[in-house]
Amino acid sequence: MVRSGDLRGAELRTEYRSDHSDVVGEFYIPALAAARQYDRAVGYFTASSLAVLSKGMDDFISRGGMMRIVASPYLEPDDIADIEAGYELRAVLERAAVRDLERAATDRRAAVGLGKLGRLVAAGRLDIKLAYVSSGNRVGMYHEKIGVFRDTDDLVAFKGSSNETLSGLVGNFESIEVFRSWDDRDAERALRISRDFEDLWQNRTQFLRVISFTDAAKVVIDRSALTSAETGNIDEIPSGGAPISIMPQGIVGLLQIPMELHVRDYQKRAVESWFAERGCGILRMATGTGKTITALAAAAQLAKVLQQGGQPLLTVVIVPYQHLVDQWSRDIEWFGVTPIRAYESTGYWHPRATNLLDALALNSVRGGVIVTTNKTFGEPHFQRLLDRYSGQLLIIADEVHNLGAKHLRDRLPSQASYRLGLSATPERWFDDAGTAVLAEYFGSTVADMGIGDAIRAGALCRYTYTPILVELDYEESELYAEVTEKVAKILGSQTFTDEPDDDTPLGALLRRRANILGHARAKIPALRREMEKRRESWHQLLYCAEGRHPLSSGEEPSQMEQVMDLVGNQLRLPAARYVAETRRTGRQEILRRFGTGDDLQVLVSMRCLDEGVDVPAARTAYLLASSSNPRQFIQRRGRVLRRAPGKDLADIIDFVVVPPEGAGTQQRTERRMVARELNRVTEFAHLAENEAETLNILRPLRIRYGLLDT
């Protein structure tokens, strides 16, 4: 029996190793049960470790034990980018450390540990500091692992491989060496480790900096301690469907529908239809109708059902771009789970993902979410991670059409019992084979919410549509005819089932032809005339064509450069670019400024706003970039139709390219060009508030080319 304040009576050995020792049961718990003070410095600390040490912690707390912790927060790519961008270092480190605590709390055991920390914090007997390497321009993680137990007279110091985490104490193979102050052989080392900790605590260690963290941590600890004490019942879901219900808060580790979320009727029906198809299917939902929320509601209901049978659920969300990983992650956190963001350097996310899969396999957590990009999903290290997981798996594919590409379609995990694809346009353009693969893997379309339905339901706002006819010059027209003739020859000599890659002859020709229309030189003067009419309007969104004019000499400015000069220098409207090269941290700031309505008047972008980015404040959209691909123009229309406070009507100005005046009206090339452009115009005009006016604008063009039936 260990007596309070009697480390000598704990009979601690000099070394513990996982192959022949229970490190927790034979060392940590007896030492805690005997100590009055516990000092710990580790590279990574989570409250889940305190749940493992529960018995010793209770004794430690009951007799007034004091605890001091020094830990190093785990820095993610966004944190490092912020530090490089000059953000206050302390704020970034605190944010990272709070995130670590919040992620730990997704495990119910960790919530118990946070409750124990809360008791120490409330009594003023816990102090936490953050350590980081500071040498020259380098900021790094502190990785040392030492600890000191003290009673009234003696101390026990130790060092070794284990972090103070659940996996470090239980799941990993670890070893520690122990030094007892009353043993002559150990005394010098025990005192030296104790002095090293004290120097660290007092910020006296060369190359290291230590800052206080207790106040910042207290917010998370108090909140988690409160929710860990709450419970809730999970209702049965009928086998025929999944009526939406809201999970009581406090069920740690599971996606939960937020109490304040209003789930629309069409979203409920979509979830019910998906469940009726045994958790497989595609949601065809217009941009802005809440595909993300619908998918997370479905995932939360599925997790709830599986939990009744004691089965944890791994949810993997696959998105096209990195900024969508961040956007999805914010929504997932609203649903009660902090996801693992898997992109960029494998070293940042792979260890956490591996630990999550281990915890799911051991049934020590109830669920987890990984959000990744298409690129990372298709890479070998992510595929190997999925291959080793044999539990319940839900795959959610945002903008699912992208996964039909040849280099991704065979990466979709066959062991996933539950599959959910999301897209306003799930069909792949010019790629029947890829579309068929997606339908075979994800299943049929179980919900169909088009833009017209969404406007009528009030999910999207109404809009006016103004087509602006822009003529090619003769040089552009001749090049267009030449390229079209080459396209026709290839199409006439081959059969295509896949979307042509850009590096194929057909793909290169199609891209060149699209560039001719997108970069038509007459668009810039036409844009100026339209923007001058709206000089006093805010929340204007402008889509430019990618690349450069096909006839450019190289010295001619790109369309983006010409537009920025027009908007910023000539019209003197406050504007910013939102392009692929914009840093991730800068993108959020640009969108925030655009949304205020008194800072950035115009947002100029290219394709990076096409899929998934929320720009609800946009009220006017100029479409300079022409495309006959329905997916692209439907996505761009959806960007400006999202609802926002005070926004009842959006305005879309579309620059429609036509052959030059005097060109042969019976030439097959010219007629097909006009027909392709009119397909988009007809789609846009059909649901517009001013449909009749739009059709009148186009009537002379239809008569001229014999396209009245188009």
Work out how many domains the chain is built from and give that number.
3
pLDDT of amino acid 109: 53
Name the more confident of 515 and 573: 573
Q: Are 288 and 643 in contact (CB under 8 A)?
A: yes
Domain CATH code at residue 405: 3.40.50.300
Of 204, 201, 219, 223, the closest CA to residue 67 belongs to 201
| 149 and 204 part of one domain | yes
Domain CATH code at residue 163: 3.30.870.10
Of 303, 308, 302, 230, the closest CA to residue 271 belongs to 302
- Whether residue 548 is contained in a domain is answered as yes
Q: Are 323 and 587 in contact (CB under 8 A)?
A: yes
Comparing 1-15, 438-452, 534-548, the range with the smallest average pLDDT is 1-15
Decide if pLDDT at 200 tops 70: yes
Decide if pLDDT at 468 tops 50: yes
Decide if pLDDT at 540 tops 70: yes
DSSP codes of every residue in 329-375: HHHHHHTT---EEE-S-HHHHHHHHHHHHHHHHTT-SSEEEEEEEHH
Q: Are 399 and 320 in contact (CB under 8 A)?
A: yes
Residue 669 binned pLDDT confidence (cut-offs 50, 70, 90): confident
| 124 and 110 part of one domain | yes
Beta bridge pairs of residue 37: 66, 150
pLDDT digits (tens, 9 = 90+) for 226-269: 444 333 222 333 334 444 443 333 333 589 888 888 888 999 99
- Whether residue 239 is contained in a domain is answered as no
Q: Would you call 270 helix, strand, or coil by DSSP?
A: helix
CB-facing half-sphere around the CA of 359: CA atoms within 13 A:
26
pLDDT of amino acid 431: 72
Decide if pLDDT at 595 tops 80: yes
CA distance 430 to 66: 68
Phi-psi category of 31—alpha, beta or left, where left has phi over 0 and alpha has psi -120 to 50? alpha
pLDDT of amino acid 234: 26
CA distance 405 to 400: 10
Residue 627 binned pLDDT confidence (cut-offs 50, 70, 90): low
Which amino acid, one-letter code, is at 497?
T
Domain span at residue 89?
8-228
pLDDT of amino acid 222: 56
What is the rounded average pLDDT of the residues 422-450?
85
| Cβ count within 10 A of residue 612 | 21
pLDDT of amino acid 193: 95
- Whether residue 235 is contained in a domain is answered as no
| Cβ count within 10 A of residue 196 | 17
- Whether residue 105 is contained in a domain is answered as yes
- Of 394, 421, 456, the one marking the end of a domain is 456
**Angle between the N-to-C axes of helices 89-104 and 77-84, in degrees from 0 to 180, rounded to the nearest 10:** 170
| Pure H helices in 155-213 | 166, 187-201
| 397 and 470 part of one domain | no
Q: Give Rg (Cα) of the chain.
A: 30
Q: Are 542 and 640 in contact (CB under 8 A)?
A: no
**What average pLDDT does the chain have?**
80
What is the rounded average pLDDT of the residues 30-51?
74
| 426 and 471 part of one domain | no
pLDDT of amino acid 191: 95
Q: Are 190 and 157 in contact (CB under 8 A)?
A: yes
| 481 and 505 part of one domain | yes
| 390 and 451 part of one domain | yes
- Of 401, 421, 456, the one marking the end of a domain is 456
| 444 and 543 part of one domain | no
pLDDT digits (tens, 9 = 90+) for 267-309: 999 999 999 999 999 999 987 788 999 999 999 999 999 988 8
- Whether residue 240 is contained in a domain is answered as no
Residue 371 binned pLDDT confidence (cut-offs 50, 70, 90): very high
Q: Are 513 and 484 in contact (CB under 8 A)?
A: yes
Decide if pLDDT at 171 tops 60: no
